[in-house]
Copies of this chain bind each other. A is one copy, B any other.
Amino acid sequence: MRRAVQLIQGLTDLPLVIDSSIIEVLDAGLAAYQGKALVNSVTAEDDRLAAILPLVRKYGAAVIALPNDEEEIPEEPARRVELARKIIDVATGQYGIAIEDIVIDPLAMPVGADTGHGIRTLETIALLREEFGVNMTLGASNVSFGMPDRHAIGAAFLPVAISHGLTSAIMDARSPQIVRAVKAADLLLDRDPWGASWIAAHRAQQAAAASATVQAAP
């Protein structure tokens, strides 16, 4: 982990997520990390809170928090919000971690397994925004797992989730369709002043297409 962090930080200035279920590995990664990392992840289980939050505090990191505990990954949005409340209370109250450094995962699960999963995730997002105004992230591609035309599902899901309060996502940034959908959400929700970013993306795409045509010509 130490070597990976050093290697990747030598290649990019983008912030990293340090992801391990082993406490010593998280600690090594955070110790090697330059800047403010995001830790993936803590749950509402007492032993995980007690093990991970001190590291988050020690290194001034932010943390992704999953609202499940020893007993369950809850189905009901209200129960997910209760577990999120527990994590937020412990992190801010006992460890002095700032609420803006707690990134709640509302839990995205496949509609292919249960068509009710989409709505439960969206309701959780709306409740978390209403109750806490917290940052959120989720594994966007989980939603379409096992279904055909996955990118079309993701391209519809992300704008909807953003409009209900989702602030970030673990998503495939190499899918032009999904990236365009997120940019369209920014435009529609008044987060793209003058539509400048939308128009710039269109021009970049046109320029890339023109350049590909020129290269293809003999």
Binding stretch for chain B, among A30-38, A159-167, A208-216: A159-167
Given known A-B contacts A157-B184, A181-B155, A118 and B189 have beta carbons under 8 A apart = yes
Contact-residue bracket for chain A = 35 or more
Indicate whether A8 reaches chain B with its CB closer than 8 angstroms: no
Copies in the complex: 2
A187 neighbours in B (Cβ, 8 Å): 111, 115, 118, 147, 153
- Kindly identify, within residues 181 to 207 of chain A, every residue whose CB is under 8 Å from any CB belonging to chain B: 181, 184-185, 187-190, 192-195, 198-199, 202
Chain A at the B interface: mostly helix, strand, loop or mixed? helix
A193 touches B115 (CB 8 A): yes
Closest Cβ of chain B: how far from A96's Cβ, in Å?
A: 36
Interface centre among A149, A199, A202 (most CB of B within 10 A): A149
Chain B residues, Cβ within 8 Å of A185: 156, 160
**Distance A163 CA – B149 CA, assembled complex (angstroms):** 20
Bound-complex Cα distance A44 to B202 (A):
39
Residue of B nearest to A193 (CB): B115
A residues touching B (Cβ–Cβ < 8 Å)? Answer: 111-112, 115-116, 118-119, 122, 143, 147-149, 152-153, 155-157, 159-160, 163-164, 180-181, 184-185, 187-190, 192-195, 198-199, 202
16 contacts between A and B (CB under 8 A): A115-B194, A116-B190, A119-B189, A119-B190, A122-B188, A122-B189, A147-B187, A147-B198, A149-B198, A152-B184, A155-B156, A156-B181, A157-B188, A159-B159, A160-B160, A160-B185
